[in-house]
Amino acid sequence: MPKSKKDSSSEIAKMAGIHEQLKEQTDRLNTVLINLRYEGKTNLGKNLKEVWGILFFFEKEVCLHVEAEEKLLFPFLQAHVPRLEPLINLFHSEHEDFKRNLKRFRLAMEELCGENGDHHRAKRIDNVREIGTYLIYLLRQHMAAEEESIYKAVLHELHQGEREELEKLIASHRASKAA
């Protein structure tokens, strides 16, 4: 039986599904950044551990997702739905902005974790919060725009054969990354 347009086990649905996990992680990050500032020294270790966990998720899962979009999804859509090219260019630049600020976020976290003095720690926390908050809003806006354009185009504008071809490309890419 052929897969329906919205088959949740499809590779395309899995790619779109990372957005749900990312929404949960950005919500968690927002909460923990507030906690980091207002819970003080007593919960500092717990809050830092949680931020590190979210940062690792961003560095691993989100970066793999971005790579798959840039290497597979975007070129495929540019070839099959050329009117999306301006949006794809915007998404490329947002991906670059995300990667650049993710590195800044890691650096800020490393500086915070290496800080011993209370006076400088407050400044380091503020820096982590500033960069983290920017990442949260960048990611939320980016996901919403992708869902309304790119992922809808995959479901509604590609023909069945094109979707199947894209599915195979994504499955092959996923298998090469798992190996």
The CATH number covering residue 112 comes to 1.20.120.520
Compute CA distances 43 → 32, 63, 90, 135, whole Å: 10, 29, 39, 23
Q: How many domains does the chain have?
A: 1
Query: Which range of residues forms the domain containing residue 98?
Result: 15-178
Pairwise pLDDT comparison (138 vs 119), residue with the higher score = 138
For the record, the structure tokens of 15 come out as 């790619």
Confidence label for 2 from pLDDT (cuts 50, 70 and 90): very low
Confidence label for 12 from pLDDT (cuts 50, 70 and 90): confident
Structural contact between residues 68 and 146, judged by C-beta atoms closer than 8 angstroms = no
Mean pLDDT in residue range 20-49: 93
Asked, for residue 149, whether it belongs to a domain, the answer is yes
pLDDT for 9: 59
pLDDT for 117: 72
Confidence label for 3 from pLDDT (cuts 50, 70 and 90): very low
For the record, the structure tokens of 21 come out as 């996990």
Residue 8 DSSP SS3: coil
Mean pLDDT in residue range 74-89: 95
pLDDT, averaged across the chain = 90
The string of pLDDT tens digits covering residues 139-177 is: 999 999 999 999 999 989 999 999 999 999 998 888 887
Structural contact between residues 61 and 25, judged by C-beta atoms closer than 8 angstroms = no
Asked, for residue 1, whether it belongs to a domain, the answer is no
For the record, the structure tokens of 122 come out as 């407050």
For the entire predicted model, the pTM comes to 0.87
Asked, for residue 9, whether it belongs to a domain, the answer is no
Asked, for residue 8, whether it belongs to a domain, the answer is no
